[in-house]
Structure 1
Amino acid sequence: MKYAVLGSGAMGLRFGVLLQEAGFEVDFVDTWDKQLSTIRSQHGVYVSRDGQNKHLVPINVYSPEEYDGRANILIVFTKQYMLAELLDRCAHFFNDKHYALTCMNGMGHIEKLNQYFAPEHVIGGTAMIGTVLNKAGDVDFIGQKGAGSVNFANQTEQPDDVTQEVVADFKAAGMNPTLTTNFNGTLMAKVVFNSVVNTLCTMFKVRMGEFIQAPTTRALSVQLIDEAYDVCERAGIKLLTSRQEEWQQVVTVSQTGNPLHFPSMYQDLSNGRETEVDYINGYIYDLGKKYNYEASTHNFLRHLVHLTEFTDKFDVNGFINQVLEDDKASEQKVAAVSQ
């Protein structure tokens, strides 16, 4: 099986590099010019694990316009709000034999993929894997080798031979895949997880291991989980775990899986990018509204994240330093007059 990663950021690089290291042929496609030029100039991508053992991994990288679509499986990884443009730029090489596999955060991407691929060729997934793109051409895999897991489900909920082969390939690559026959439940389980961990870690700018230690974490998390499960029950979506199991997954992943990880939403915020909160907490709230249910905590958090996006544009530290300098100058002026 030959793979092409469409959207070669943090997670796209991790999936592709692990598959390549397991012996599979992988191409990388990206729209970020700096990513393309950096990887080409250094003849590969620098890969670390938890900040250690940084080494160069040669990869083949293309812009959408350069790629010919020779892969069998297209792994789609980009931000929700960037997906439509990516698919439009890649559409020239899509064919009716391609399978599209995605483990993107949030919801809204399946509808966009369905504009280009038949439902029986769409594999939805979720990834409990932490990865950080330090800068163009430099990625850090969070967690020990073999850490993390992925869940897959066919949109038709009828696994075929190609899907089984993909699962076998991901197992060989050490990504611990599980194949389910519950498409919406599989996708929403990660949305619920992210609506807790991603959003709260981002709001308070802490790593997952720090977040889980706070005395109020359980109460906040359970409130968000309960609201999300109430929404899913009304929408007829059966999640993969119980409410208690979902909370326990938050604990386990935060404590032992990725304690050093800043979630992707925090990475977006700290780099001045738009967050995906509308596709996570916002999606849960909007889905609830369709069934006359107010997931008010999720909506409140969505607006808080947007407020943080806005206020982070101001240089607070610079303002404080300027005030201190002005005060110091005033004190010196008073002292000079007194002398």
Structure 2
Amino acid sequence: MKYAVLGAGAMGLRYGILLQQAGFPVDFVEIWDDQIEKIKEQNGVYVSRDGKDKHLVPVNIYSPENYEGDPDVWIVFTKQMQLEDALKRTAGSFKDHQYVVSPMNGMGHIEKINKYFKPKKVIGGTALIGTVLNGAGDVDFIGASGAGSMHMANQTESPDDTTHQIVEEFTKANLNPTLTTNFLGTLMAKVIFNSVINTLCTMFEIQMGEYIQGPTAEKLGRQLINEAFDVCERAGIKLLNTREEEWEIIRHVSTDTNPLHFPSMYQDMSKGRPTEVDYINGYIYELGLKYHYEATTHEFLRNLVHLSEFARDFDPKSLEA
């Protein structure tokens, strides 16, 4: 099948390039002008793996307004805050026959995607695949070839032939997908993972491998996991994992799979961009309130991240009389 990636950032580039290398046609649609201009200027994307073997990979990239392709499947990988604008600008290229796969971080994207695609064509996903965008036109795949994994689930929880074909092609691209029939449970499992790893690594500016060696890593992680599970149980969401399994995934990925990885929230913070904390820890807290439960640790961390964003951008000159 033919794919189009909406959001040619770190993860969008990794998915698209791996699919392209597996023999499938891929287009990239991007709303960041600098990214488009740089990739066109250098006739491709510079790709490295763990900072080594940097090489140029030719890709086709377009702005939403200039894209005239008709893919079978869209892969949506924008930031949560940019999604609504990106979908609106690209809407002229959406067709009834197309499917969409969205392994984005956080929650809130499915409702926006549903405005343009029928639920039976929407596949939610999660990705435990570390990737860093060093700058415009320069991406670093973290981990050995074939490292990382993902889960996918149809919004209707009824996989069809096209879904199975997507899974097969993602497998050929070494994305290591697992298909489930638990839509919300699949998405929330990654939200919980990110609520620990993304937020704590960002607050202390550390890699995942450094976090997991900390003397309080497990205590902090389990506290956040337990609150998130309490919320999901009250919301009637059956998660893919037990509390123990969720912690073991965090431990394994941080220790064995991506110890050198700085999570995406850290990358946003360090580059002066807004973080997605409201769509991760904030989502867990707000969901809990609907069921008369306060996930206070998640709310505390959300506020700490926002304070850190404010401090990062604060101009001391504003204090001068």
TM-score, normalised via structure 2 length: 0.98
Tell me what 1:304 maps to: 304
For residue 46 of structure 2, what is the amino acid of its counterpart?
Y
Deviations 1:40-80 (A, max 9, x none): 01000000000000000000001001111311000000110
1:114 and 2:114 are equivalent in the alignment: yes
Letter in 1 for 2:159: P
**Which amino acid in the other structure matches residue 110 of structure 2?**
I
Q: Do the aligned residues in 2 keep the contact of 1:231 with 1:284 (CA within 8 Å)? A: yes
8 Å Cα contact 1:9/1:133 also seen in 2 = yes
**CA deviations over 1:161-213 (Å, ceiling 9, x no partner):** 00000000000001110000000000000000000000000000000000000
- Given residue 12 of structure 2, which amino acid in structure 1 is its aligned partner? G
- Runs of 4+ in structure 1 deviating by more than 4 angstroms, as ranges, are none
- The whole-number CA distance in structure 1 between the counterparts of 2:19 and 2:131 is 15
Q: How far 1:314 sits from its partner (Å)?
A: 4.3
Match of 2:319 in 1: none
- Written as runs of structure 1 = structure 2, the 5 A alignment for 1:89-128 is 89-128=89-128
> 5 Å matches for 1:111-260?
111-260=111-260
CA distance in 2, matches of 1:69, 1:211: 43
Structure 2 unmatched ranges of 5 or more: 317-321
Q: 1:43 aligned to 2:43?
A: yes
**Quick check: which has more Rg, 1 or 2?**
1
Shift of 1:93: 1.1
1:257 & 1:241 partners in 2: Cα distance?
Answer: 19
Counterpart-to-counterpart distance in 2, 1:30 and 1:238: 35
Output the CA distance in 2 between the equivalents of 1:111 and 1:69. 24
Q: Counterpart of 1:65 in 2: which secondary structure?
A: helix
- Secondary structure of residue in 2 paired with 1:212: helix
Name the aligned partner's letter for residue 194 of structure 2. N
CA distance in 2 between counterparts of 1:89 and 1:7 reads 12
2-structure distance, mates of 1:202, 1:34: 25
Q: Percent identity?
A: 67
In the alignment, is residue 279 of structure 1 matched against residue 279 of structure 2? Answer: yes
Question: In 2, distance between residues paired with 1:60 and 1:313?
Answer: 35
CA distance in 1: counterparts of 2:314 and 2:218, whole angstroms: 32
Aligned length: 317
Distance in 1 between residues matched to 2:25 and 2:302, nearest whole Å: 40
Aligned AA for 1:118? Answer: K
Q: Deviations over 1:117-171 (max 9, x none)?
A: 0000000000000000000000000000000001000000000000000000000
Cross-structure match for 2:264 = 264
Instruction: Say which SS state the counterpart of residue 247 (structure 2) adopts.
Output: helix
RMSD: 1.0
* TM-score normalised to structure 1 length: 0.92
CA contact (8 A) 1:224 1:297 kept: yes
Q: Distance in 1 between matches of 2:135 and 2:4?
A: 21
Secondary structure of 1:312's counterpart equals: helix
CA distance in 2 between partners of 1:70 and 1:219 (Å): 49
Q: Secondary structure at the match of 1:68?
A: coil
CA contact (8 A) 1:69 1:94 kept: no
Residues 102-124 of structure 1 deviation map (CA, whole Å, 9 limit, x = unaligned): 00000000000000000000000
Partners in 1 of 2:34 and 2:228 — Cα distance?
Answer: 38
What is the CA–CA distance in structure 2 between the aligned matches of 1:231 and 1:86, rounded to whole Å?
Answer: 31
SS in 2 for 1:152: strand
Structure 1, gaps ≥5 residues long: 317-339
Q: Which residue of 2 aligns with 1:324?
A: none
